[in-house]
Amino acid sequence: MAVALILLLVAIASVLFHVYSPWWWTPIASNWRYIDDTINLTFWITGAVFCAVIAFMAYCVLRFHHKEGRRAAYNPENKKLEWWLSIGTAIGVVAMLAPGLVVWHQFVTVPADATDVEVVGQQWMWSYRLPGKDGRLGTSDARLISSENPLGLNPNDPNGQDDVVVQNDDLHLPVGKPVKVLLRSIDVLHDFYVPEFRAKMDMIPGSVTYYWLTPTRTGTFDVLCAELCGAAHAQMRSRVIVEEEKEYHAWLEKQRTFAELSGQRDVAKAAYKTGSE
């Protein structure tokens, strides 16, 4: 009796917790509402199965627990029942998998008008690079990294000269424009993770990974690292600021390009040299 009740209470408490607890995902800020919908659908299906199994079990414990003189039924199998249960399960699985795969197809198909944004992870900070007026990012190589060129951009690539480099600062994105986020790391695995965007992908040193999204509302969002990257993994933070087109351009105007940054360093170096002689 008590056992059956407690089992039932576990199921009921789980459902109540799900419905009434204040802990739920943060409001979404990207186009990936479909992911949230798929999660909700999965919650409905799995929740129903969970409750049904536990309730059935609790009923069995209540109804068939040992009493003097009770003898269990002899029932080796029931092919028909087993087949129906398997088919039912298969239908449930398809109901979750099919929408999942459709949404995944959207997730991996980057729209043609998406603008590139590069995110570079390193222990333990984030840097960003946006294409300049030509709309294209220059090439990069980890071997070119130095204190003058912390992102390892190729100085001989004309596409890279006007790239906007953002270090130790927030990333700004225009609202409503699709973005292809190119992910690069210069030391270990990292993962560019903005909970409100729902999307994430590991960054792997030696190759460039990507995902795409369209920010759908303005605001300031935290950036965290979601792949263990060493001692200060938890402190690797930054922010993404999604804003209207006009404000975004105003911000973009103020940023330095790669050419400016490297040129300025050359000037500074020259000045230092003349001063010391």
Partner 1 sequence: MVDIPLDHVAGIPPAEVGEVELYHPRSWWTRYVFSQDAKVIAVQYSITAMSIGMVALVLSWMMRLQLGFPGTFSFIDANQYLQFITMHGMIMVIYLLTALFLGGFGNYLIPLMVGARDMVFPYVNMLSYWVYLLAVLVLAATFFVPGGPTGAGWTLYPPQAILSGTPGQDWGIVFMLASLILFIIGFTMGGLNYVVTVLQARTRGMTLMRLPLTVWGIFTATVMALLAFPALFVASVMLLLDRLLGTSFFMPTLVEMGQLSKYGGGSPILFQHLFWFFGHPEVYIVALPAFGIISDLISTHARKNIFGYRMMVWAIVAIGALSFVVWAHHMYVSGMHPYFGFFFATTTLIIAIPTAIKVYNWVLTLWRGDIHLTVPMLFALGFIVTFVNGGLTGLFLGNVVVDVPLSDTMFVVAHFHMVMGIAPIMAVFGGIYHWYPKVTGRMLNDVLGKFHFWVTFIGAYAVFFPMHYLGLLGMPRRYHDIGETSFVPASAHDLNAFMSVAALIVGFAQLVFLFNLVWSLFKGKEAGGNPWGATSLEWQTPETPPGHGNWGKELPIVYRWAYDYSVPGAAKDFVPQNEPPSGAVAQGAHP
**Identity of the amino acid at 61:** V
Half-sphere exposure (CA, 13 Å, Cβ side) for 210? 17
Kindly give, in sequence order, each residue whose CB lies less than 8 Å from that of residue 261, ignoring residues fewer than 6 positions away. 165
Q: Which is nearer to partner 1, 145 or 259 (CB)?
A: 145
Count residues contacting partner 1 (CB under 8 A)?
103
Q: Which is nearer to partner 1, 74 or 276 (CB)?
A: 74
For the CB of residue 61, give the shortest distance to partner 1 in the complex, in Å.
6
In DSSP terms, 184 is beta-bridged to 120
CA-to-CA separations, 228 to 61, 128, 232, in angstroms, rounded: 44, 20, 9
Q: Regarding beta strands 190-193 and 219-225, do their DSSP bridges make them parallel or antiparallel, or are they unpaired?
A: antiparallel
For the CB of residue 171, give the shortest distance to partner 1 in the complex, in Å.
15
Kindly give, in sequence order, each residue whose CB lies less than 8 Å from that of residue 190, ignoring residues fewer than 6 positions away. 121, 122, 202, 203, 225, 227, 229, 236
Structure tokens at 183: 């992910």
Which window, 18-26, 169-177, 252-260, 266-274, contacts partner 1 (CB under 8 A)? 18-26
Which window, 2-10, 129-137, 248-256, 267-275, contacts partner 1 (CB under 8 A)? 2-10
Contact 124, 235 (CB under 8 A): yes
| Contacts to partner 1 from residues 77-116, by CB under 8 A | 77-78, 81-82, 85-86, 89-90, 93, 96-97, 100-101, 103-105, 107-108
| Contacts to partner 1 from residues 210-249, by CB under 8 A | 220-222, 224-235, 237
| Contacts to partner 1 from residues 115-174, by CB under 8 A | 122-124, 141-143, 145, 147, 152
For the CB of residue 243, give the shortest distance to partner 1 in the complex, in Å.
16
| Contacts to partner 1 from residues 37-56, by CB under 8 A | 38-39, 42, 45-46, 49-50, 53-54, 56
